[in-house]
Structure 1
């Protein structure tokens, strides 16, 4: 019985070798393959106009959120539970738009990113999650982009 399990385990490893390689969010060879910063544009439309998007490859999905500075840690904690990495944005492809902060409160742009499958359904689900979360914390979801290894667009 043990030999059968070992054999099956080895066969399973061989089958997994055809899976796309795992990518790192900090890989310097990643390039933006799609951007979506228009609230009215569907994720399927954004992906359809992305000539360098490789649907069979993993991608780093990045969502940009403008949040009150006092709430960024709370938002980061919630997103970490879903496997997102959250970083403060020092610059980005989006214009600075303030969050719905109270008088004198500073807004901060953060980026939530994770490696995931990049398709219209998953992008739309993530966008809805980010919009709801940002609104809950008096912020705003600004849009998203995705990166994959390969040539830049």
Structure 2
């Protein structure tokens, strides 16, 4: 990803101190684990996803333990947080749209493959809506 793309994405991602990747109020609003399904279709089929709100985009990947630190080095400059495990999670807060989901899915698949791992899919989390009063 070039410097201009990083700057554009950083400006597009509105850092919201009210939303963090480990917020306990987050719920999964869309999942995309079928490689044959377009990201736009995954978003469109989710009645819980709110396009006008920030979300946590979370990729599920398998990365060999000896490659986790290398993955972190590659991801951290773009605001991604990697939580390692049998299935690692790579997350960041951002506005979701089909184009960026597709770009990031491709990027994570490439990264995982380069490091000897596998990208499994992604999900998105948003805060549960406030109950109507």
TM-score between the two structures when normalised by the length of structure 1: 0.71
1:35, 1:124 → 2: CA distance? 13
What is the SS of the residue equivalent to 1:148?
Answer: strand
How far residue 82 of structure 1 moved from its aligned partner, in angstroms, is: 1.1
What is the SS of the residue equivalent to 1:24?
Answer: coil
Name the CA shift for 1:122/1:69 in 2 (closer, same or farther; >3 Å). same
Partner of 1:82: 78
Structure 1, unaligned stretches of length 5 or more?
1-18, 90-107
TM-score between the two structures when normalised by the length of structure 2: 0.81
Bigger CA radius of gyration? 1
Partner of 2:96: 118
Q: CA RMSD in A?
A: 1.6
How far residue 109 of structure 1 moved from its aligned partner, in angstroms, is: 2.0
Structure 2, unaligned stretches of length 5 or more?
1-13
How far residue 20 of structure 1 moved from its aligned partner, in angstroms, is: 9.6
Q: For the Cα contact (< 8 Å) 1:20–1:57, is it kept in 2?
A: no
Residue number among 25, 28, 35 corresponding to 1:29 in the alignment: 25
Name the CA shift for 1:139/1:57 in 2 (closer, same or farther; >3 Å). same
2:15, 2:120 → 1: CA distance? 30
How many residues of Structure 1 are paired with residues of Structure 2 in the alignment?
A: 115
2:112, 2:20 → 1: CA distance? 25
Residue number among 47, 63, 79 corresponding to 2:43 in the alignment: 47
